[in-house]
Amino acid sequence: MKRFVVAISVALLFTPILEAQESTPAPPPVEQQIPGQQPGASRSTPPGQAIVPVPVPIAPPKPNGPVQKSLVRITATSVEPDYRAPWNAGALQRGVGAGFVISGNRIMTNAHVVANSRYVTVERDGDPNKYPATVQFIANDCDLALITVSAPDFFKDMIPLKFGGIPALESTVSAYGYPIGGERMSVTTGIVSRVDFQLYTHSSVDQHLAIQISAQINPGNSGGPVMQDGKVAGVAFQGYSGDVAQGVAYMIPTPVINRFLKDIGNGHYDEYPDLAITYAKLQNPAQRKFLGLKDGDRGVLVSSVVAAGPSDGILRPGDVLLAIDGHPIASDASVELEGERAQFEEVVERKFKGDSVKFEILRDKQPMSLTIKLYKPWPYSIQGHSYDVRPRYVLYGGLLFQPLNLDTLEAYRSTDLRLRHFFEYFILEQIYLQHPDVIVLSNILPDPINTYLAPYRGAIVDEINGKKILTLDELAKAFAEAPERLVIRMIGDGPPLVLDRNKIEAARERIKTRYNVAKEQNLEERPASGAPKQANKT
Amino acid sequence: MLRHSLIAFGIMFVAVSGTLAKKESAIPPSVAKQKQLALVRVNVTGQSYDYFRPWQKKAPFSKRALGAVLSKGRVLVTADLVANQNYVELERAESGEKTAANVQVIDYEANLALLEPTEKTFLDGITPLEISPDTVVGDRLAAWQLEPTGALLATEGLVTTVQMMPYPIDIGEFLTYRISIPMQYRENSYTVPLVKNNKLAGLLLRYDSRSQLLDAIPAPVITHFLKEAESQNYRGFPSAGFSFFPTRDPQLREFAGEKGKGGGVYITNVEAGTPAMKAGLQVGDVVTAIGNNEIDQNGNYVDRLFGKIEFTNLLTAHAYAGDVIPFHIQRNGKAMQLNMTLEHRDAKDYVSPPYYLDQPPRYYVLGGLIFQELSRQYLKEWGLNWQREAPQRLVYLDRFQSEFFPERNRRVVILSQVLPANSTIGYDDLAYLTVTKVNGKEIKSLDDLAQAVKQPIEGFIKIETEEDPKQIELDAAQVAAEAPELQENYGISSLQRLQ
């Protein structure tokens, strides 16, 4: 289940570890990508100071084996979409991350290392060449990706790594990567501090199991293996910037990795399914008695069921969930899985699209059994970051209309109370039923025809000429088939926005030329480049 | 509509170094010689209610201010100064003689209050200030403060603009003078009279020491207040109950049936039960004139004194509750006239009252669950930045209350916090939930809630909320049994206040 992460400040401080190198041209400030590190520390080599690589003997007892034979350094050039000028290609960025070879001539890394990438190269230890790589699979909801190199001999001398299980608390692990832009492998060591659900900041909406370790992890470690006893215990992926917490880093544990590898078995990444319910713990004795629960420690209460999700019509608010796939659910929402306590969502976490989950429930004090066939409900996508897609928009008469989502909200840094409410309660208040796209008049390119329209900025489109507008496609259609006059009603008690079609038609070319708008609309979230999508379908 | 709410500057005084220019055009020599200044010191002690622990008051505050002595033994101050007062004291500037005072009339929206000394002879010998009604842009006004000795400290400033601006209680806007003035800090700087030719021209509303800009409550608003205060039953400033938008955009003008270059404002919303609704004003009407005052496309009329100013001034400082105001409108291109009888809208007539002062907040404690009614006063407990810091869902409900509760005649009951107790185990983290039903009965006020909890369902009290977890149950018998201990543990003097 997605818990609604209202604390956006936390998400901002909690940054994926990907190093942003010098980019061409200068990109807008990207908070997400640059954790708080020493100024200048992101440069690979200080200019004018050549570092001559010297052979460094590695200590003979190598607990994890020759990891440098498995590790690669990944350089990705990516294009970040410009949500404020969505017709533009976006800013170029270059980042460095790590990756490691696994079976089947594949390289595993983080999704955030190669998301939005246009060109990816990999380097390996003791080889001066840079090899072009292609993205095979990318899973933005769990921050994992697989890439491959087509050069015939690339994998010949590489040793594929094998995966272990969840390491024990306090046991020692070692993280491998290329932190702070270095070109040679770096190793840091720490212990396993905690195993718990965490927000994966790459999407900013998904929560999965993550392992907190005390090994130093820095930008450039992203995608690198964290090893124990010669096996991969996890993939380093995120941490806190230094001014929030120190010695706290996270890796993606092997259950999440194994699930990803299994999911792509059919040649396509299907994403995590979700029950799409919210629930409350049942720790109050009076409430337990009211609901007819006799035993002292079982059951959680269903608070709401998302209409667009797989539980709709099966579960109801007020149901008490007693067991999931035979595992009793404790009143604090935990189940016992393989001898460990875990949140009951972990059972769903390990499933795939199309799988079923079986619940024992209590409804109106009567026991029942229910089966839910899982899939991923679409409304969650607006609350997370999107990658490898072009922003959707419609530009009409200099008025830019965009669907509300995390990326647009962050691009405009909007503090508008209504917009923020529509975003945060999109699912909980089932706003998506009325407004599958929350269409915002996000910006205005000034022109004589819209010179008095500035006060409408930030308003949400409700209807045009009396017809409700549900999606951006419907908006584009309403504009395309516009009668002489368009009367756009916005949500709230503001004035209608009135547009004269003939005047707008006359201004179209003028606005396109003046603001260098290549295309007046994009309605499909087509992948930004051919590469990842094509690979996705492999 | 679409008006940005300004952030009140607050009254910040910072000692200003350097000396004042010795220009005294606004301060006639006679003033300094006058023995009995029409100024008294006002010392106020008060206590605000603590909305996070609604059964108690916060620690006492004290404020020291100046009051302008008016005729009939009255002293004019801002409402801000005496809101939530426990004790008000007047002090003669030259002698230090003191007496207690009562608040005679208070208007929180216009931020004005009249005090009267308990000792009738206390103000004897003081020549009261008259009101100077005709201040315009370019005039020089003197801010009157007192030196510790009781001597006058007069600072001169220039009136730079006269316009409609929000007052601390953010309901509509009122006429305001903005004055550029280098004020100095003195102890009694809370309410400072602004004087022109020995007559009262305004009262300090807020001062920003960085920009040295002072906003003043102007004479026309003071005059309105004083005139109403004469009557037995103070009604307050009128409110009409509609929102509007300029008609500058030609496309909107054409849509509204406006031809040519005429003026007027487009009506975007008419609230139910308000004078505008009763008068028959409709969304889409274009108001072109009020009385004999034509309104331009931006919503301004030409005031004989101030020139162009927003027409809402005609419905506040210029008009009184009960007045019948002719509205000239265009509806579907046809000219019409509506007569609107203005009324004052009391704070309690809002679903989420905009202010709640000098009266204790209502609350109901049920086995550790604290229920309160949503009000802006409650949200303001989060401090100056309450609009960003307070629970956003509640801020949203407050801001758009006329949209969500057009019926008006109700309150929003919130479960504001949970005090850990045996009956609330597992509920400790709940806060800021809006209550929809209790024991199956709809809840539109704390009175509804107090009634509904008396009828438990099979011994349980069931509370339903709009937000997750959607339902909470308590054991009615346990709640009753645990009440004395709860009061004892958390120092709750009374478990409810519903008056």
* pLDDT (0 to 100) of residue A527: 58
Rounded Cα distance between B74 and B217, Å, is 18
Q: What is the Rg, in whole angstroms, of the alpha carbon atoms belonging to chain A? A: 25
Going along chain B from its start, the domains and CATH numbers come out as 29-230 (2.40.10.120), 242-341 (2.30.42.10), 352-497 (3.20.190.20)
Residue A413 sits at φ, ψ, to 5 deg, of 45, 45
Q: Is A446 on the interface with B (CB under 8 A)?
A: no
Residues of A in contact with B266 (CB under 8 A): 495
Helix axes B392-399, A417-424, angle to 10 degrees: 130
Closest CA to A387 of A265, A282, A260, A533: A533
* pLDDT (0 to 100) of residue B136: 94
Q: What is the pLDDT along chain B (499 residues), one digit of tens a residue?
A: 334 333 333 333 333 333 333 344 555 555 544 557 899 999 999 999 999 999 999 999 999 999 999 999 999 999 999 999 999 999 998 888 999 999 999 999 999 999 999 999 999 999 999 999 999 999 999 999 998 888 889 999 999 999 999 999 988 899 999 999 998 887 767 789 999 999 999 999 999 989 999 999 999 999 999 999 998 889 999 999 999 999 999 999 989 988 778 899 999 999 999 999 999 999 999 999 999 999 999 999 999 999 999 999 999 999 999 999 999 999 988 999 999 999 999 999 999 999 999 999 999 999 999 999 999 999 999 999 999 999 999 999 999 999 999 888 899 999 999 999 999 999 999 999 999 999 999 999 999 999 999 999 999 999 999 999 999 999 999 999 999 999 999 999 999 999 8
Residue A362 exposure: Cα atoms within 13 Å on the Cβ side: 18
Residues of A in contact with B243 (CB under 8 A): 493
Using alpha carbons only, what angle is made at residue B106 by residues B100 and B110, rounded to the nearest 5 degrees?
A: 135
Is A421 annotated in the active site? no
Rounded Cα distance between B320 and B322, Å, is 6
Residues of A in contact with B430 (CB under 8 A): none
Q: A277-375 domain in CATH 2.40.400.10?
A: no
b/e sequence B369-379, b meaning 16+ C-beta within 10 Å: bbbbbbbbbbb
Q: What is the pLDDT of residues A31-76, one digit of tens each?
A: 333 333 333 333 333 333 444 445 555 554 567 878 889 999 999 9
Q: Is A297 on the interface with B (CB under 8 A)?
A: no
Neighbouring-strand partners of residue A359: A324, A370
- Beta strand extents in B147-252 (DSSP E only): 152-165, 174-180, 193-196, 199-208, 213-218, 242-246
Q: How far is CA A534 from the centre of its chain?
A: 20
Closest CA to A99 of A230, A220, A224: A224
Question: Measuring CA to CA, how many Å separate B388 from each of A430, B36, B395?
Answer: 24, 48, 8
Question: Measuring CA to CA, how many Å separate A99 from each of A122, A146, A214, B188?
Answer: 9, 9, 20, 69
Rounded Cα distance between B399 and A497, Å, is 22
Rounded Cα distance between A317 and A40, Å, is 53
Helices and strands (H, E) in chain A, number of each type: 11, 30
Token pair in block for residue B418? 């949970």
Q: Is the pLDDT of residue A19 over 70?
A: no
b/e sequence A147-179, b meaning 16+ C-beta within 10 Å: bbbeeeebbeebebbebbebbeeeebbbbbbbb
Place of tokens 């965490």: A198
Q: Is the pLDDT of residue A431 over 50?
A: yes
Kindly state the average pLDDT of the residues A216-228: 91
Closest CA to B215 of B279, B143, B273, B272: B143
Check: CB of residue B255 under 8 Å from CB of residue B294. Answer: no
* pLDDT (0 to 100) of residue A306: 94
The one-character DSSP state at B407 is T
Rounded Cα distance between A536 and A534, Å, is 5
Rounded Cα distance between A126 and B229, Å, is 91
Shortest alpha-carbon distance between residue B377 and chain A (Å): 19
State the pTM of this model: 0.86
Is A208 annotated in the active site? no
Shortest alpha-carbon distance between residue B351 and chain A (Å): 17
Q: What is the pLDDT of residues B164-208, one digit of tens each?
A: 999 999 888 999 999 999 988 877 677 899 999 999 999 999 999
All residues at 6 or more sequence positions from A158 whose CB lies less than 8 Å from its CB, including other chains: A69, A70, A101, A124
Q: Kindly provide the ipTM of the predicted complex, given to two decimals.
A: 0.86
Using alpha carbons only, what angle is made at residue A461 by residues A455 and A462, rounded to the nearest 5 degrees?
A: 125
Kindly state the average pLDDT of the residues A338-349: 88
Question: Measuring CA to CA, how many Å separate A492 from each of A65, A419, B265, B399?
Answer: 64, 12, 18, 11
The CATH number assigned to the domain with range A8-37+62-266 reads 2.40.10.120
All residues at 6 or more sequence positions from A221 whose CB lies less than 8 Å from its CB, including other chains: A17, A97, A98, A175, A177, A178, A179, A186, A188, A236, A249
Token pair in block for residue B282? 């409709």
Q: In what order do the strands lie in the sheet with A497-500?
A: A467-468, A461-464, A485-490, A497-500
Q: A393-522 domain in CATH 3.40.50.720?
A: no
Q: Contact A278/B255, CB-based, under 8 Å? A: no
Rounded Cα distance between B9 and A84, Å, is 33
Catalytically annotated residue among A42, A112, A204, A435: A112
Please count the residue pairs, one from chain A and one from chain B, whose beta carbons lie less than 8 angstroms apart: 100
Check: CB of residue B250 under 8 Å from CB of residue A453. Answer: no
Token pair in block for residue A144? 């994992």
Q: Is B148 on the interface with A (CB under 8 A)?
A: no
Kindly state the average pLDDT of the residues A495-507: 94
- Model confidence at A174, pLDDT cuts 50, 70, 90, reads very high
Using alpha carbons only, what angle is made at residue A499 by residues A493 and A504, rounded to the nearest 5 degrees?
A: 150
Name the segment(s) of chain A with CATH classification 3.20.190.20.
393-522
* pLDDT (0 to 100) of residue B347: 93
- A 10 A CB-CB count for A367 gives 11
Shortest alpha-carbon distance between residue A112 and chain B (Å): 31
Q: Contact B468/A304, CB-based, under 8 Å? A: yes
